[in-house]
Amino acid sequence: MASISSSPRTVEEIFKDYTARRAGLVRALTFDSKCGLHLIMSEKENLCLYGHSNELWEVTLPAEEVPPELPEPALGINFARDGMQRKDWLSLVAVHSDCWLLSVSFYFGARLNRNERKRLFSMINDLPSLFEVVTGRKPVKDKPSVDSGSKARNNAKRSLDGQAKNNSKLMDENYGDEEDEHGETICGTCGGTYNSDEFWIGCDICERWYHGKCVKITPAKAESIKHYKCPSCCTKKGRQQ
């Protein structure tokens, strides 16, 4: 059994291994899906789909050694083939393969520190997932969110009439129209349009978005704010009192 020390160790080495294995699986699930993968998977065995570091793919029985040298892919995915539409079956295999690729990369990254793991995931996340490739979906660009240091967009926010308004949207609803939303987001102070390279924060009262620099809120300060109230809303409340 190979030791971790002989495996890819740096973020760059692990990412290179990830991209090579991913390339093999992309080929298996797209170009080779009709003439190769679909026929091989018809065998009545508990088979696994592997992507190798030489950009090739293989369908074979799982490793006999316990524990295995690497995390194992989903077992027996070929059994679902005959009971599903081909497109749905490939999507299912793609989802399981995405999970396996991540597990292999973070197995290799066991000795990475927190920042290195974050950087590795960021590099991986910049690539379309196998599921996105197989289904033809386009990755969604992030709107100002907790990832840029602001409060989570998915949390329930209060609208002006006091009713809870959930700003989160299902992934399927975001595809296609998310990019248009970015162009409509403007800063409530300076009127500047949304830029993913800048920190933004949203008001829980009026639901306007602001540059952090325009309202003097840093990403670190935003982390401790549960409900943000913009200067305009603060002023309005002061006048009412």
The single-letter DSSP state of residue 158 is E
As a whole number of Å, the end-to-end CA separation of the chain is 72
Distance CA 77, CA 100 (A): 13
Distance CA 3, CA 69 (A): 8
Give the pairing of strands 164-166 and 156-158.
antiparallel
User: What are the beta bridge partners of residue 157?
Assistant: 165
What pLDDT sits at residue 131?
93
What does the DSSP assignment read for 166-204? E----HHHHTTTHHHHHHH-BBTTT-PBP-TTS-EEE-T
Both tokens of 234, joined, read 């603060």
What pLDDT sits at residue 148?
44
Per-residue pLDDT of the chain (241 residues; tens, 9 = 90+): 444 446 788 999 999 999 999 999 999 888 766 656 666 665 567 888 899 999 999 888 888 877 788 899 988 777 766 677 888 888 999 999 999 999 999 999 999 999 999 999 999 999 999 999 999 887 665 555 444 444 434 333 332 233 333 333 333 444 444 444 445 678 888 877 777 788 889 888 888 888 888 898 998 888 888 888 888 888 765 555 5
Count of alpha carbons within 13 angstroms of residue 149, beta-carbon side: 15
CA distances for 179 relative to 84, 124, 198, angstroms: 33, 21, 17
Give me the amino acid identity at 115.
Answer: N
Exposure b/e, 104-129, CB count within 10 A at least 16 = b: bbbebbeebeeeebeebbebbeebeb
Distance CA 139, CA 137 (A): 7
- For tokens 């490739």, what's the residue? 133
Both tokens of 214, joined, read 């325009």
pTM above 0.85, yes or no: no
